[in-house]
Structure 1
Amino acid sequence: MLHTLEVVTTVIVGLMVGVELSVAFIMNRILNALPEDSGQLGHAHGGRMLGAVMPVWYIGSLVLVAACGIAGRHHHGDGLVIAAAVLLLLSVVMSVLLLVPINNRGKTWTPGNRPEDWKQQLNRWERWHYARVTVLVAAFAVLVAGLT
């Protein structure tokens, strides 16, 4: 049963990290290269779509990693699994405090109602997202090291 939990956790967390890497290094670049207002509208749509899914994915991943840490306590690598949980918790805190407020504003923007500094706010979101992705990649690497 523990092995199944570890495999499911690795897949769920790994997919989440992959999605966030894709947003950072592929989707944002595509959206930023679109002409006129298309990029801003794409960012708003992505904010609505991923804004609905990612909270469940983040919390679910944290719960799964915590469950692996509890179920696998006194096993090889349990300290690394706990470290991964701490890093995932940090990513959740970063999201709530730094990224979600910007996303909540940005997902409602249209070319007619966006603020003057919308590009600066979007750039700030992207910088925080790079930091969060770094934390997520570290969490995933530590998790895999702890489970293998």
Structure 2
Amino acid sequence: MLSALEVVTTVVVGLMVGVEFSVAFVINPILNALPDDSTQLGNAHGGRMLGAVMPVWYFSSLALVVACAVAGRHHGGAGLLATAGGLLVLSVVMSILLLVPINNRNKTWTPETRPADWKQQLNRWNRYHYVRVAVLVAAFTLLATALT
């Protein structure tokens, strides 16, 4: 049973990290290369779509890592799992405090209603997101190391 939990945890967390990585290094560069209206509309749509899915994915990932840590507490790697869980908590806190407020504004903008500083706000979101991706990659690395 523990190995099934470990596989599910690795897949769920790995896919989440992959999505966030692709947002940072694939999707956003594509959107930023489009004309301003298209960039803004694409970011707003992505914010609505991913803003609905990612909170569930983040909390599910955290719960799975905690379950692995509890179920495997007598096996090696418990400290790595605890650290990975701590990094996932950090990513959730960063999201709530830094990224979600910008995303909540961005997802309501249209070319007609966006503020004058919309590009600066999206650039700030991107900078925070790069840091969050680094935290997530570190968490996933620790998770994979602990479970192998």
2:38 matched residue in structure 1: 38
State the 1:35 CA deviation. 1.7
**Segments of 4+ in structure 1 off by > 2 A?**
none
Q: In 2, distance between residues paired with 1:71 and 1:89?
A: 19
Q: Which runs of 5+ in 2 are unaligned?
A: none
Question: What secondary structure does 2:36 align onto?
Answer: coil
Question: What secondary structure does 1:12 align onto?
Answer: helix
TM-score normalized by structure 1? 0.99
Number of equivalent positions:
148
- Residues 77-88 of structure 1 aligned to structure 2 (within 5 Å): 77-88=77-88
State the 1:123 CA deviation. 0.2
Q: In 2, distance between residues paired with 1:84 and 1:70?
A: 13
State the 1:36 CA deviation. 3.5
Q: In 2, distance between residues paired with 1:117 and 1:93?
A: 25
Q: Tell me, yes or no, if structure 1 residue 29 matches structure 2 residue 29.
A: yes
**1:37 partner amino acid:** D
Q: In 1, distance between residues paired with 2:82 and 2:35?
A: 45
Q: CA RMSD in A?
A: 0.5
TM-score normalized by structure 2? 0.99
Q: 1:32-83 deviations in whole A, cap 9, x for unaligned? A: 0012300110000000000000000000000000000000002011110111
Identity of aligned residues (%): 74
Question: What secondary structure does 1:37 align onto?
Answer: helix
Q: Which runs of 5+ in 1 are unaligned?
A: none
1:10 matched residue in structure 2: 10
State the 1:104 CA deviation. 0.2
Q: In 2, distance between residues paired with 1:89 and 1:36?
A: 34
2:92 matched residue in structure 1: 92
Q: Please identify, of 31-40 and 8-17, the stretch whose mean Cα deviation from structure 2 is larger.
A: 31-40
State the 1:16 CA deviation. 0.2
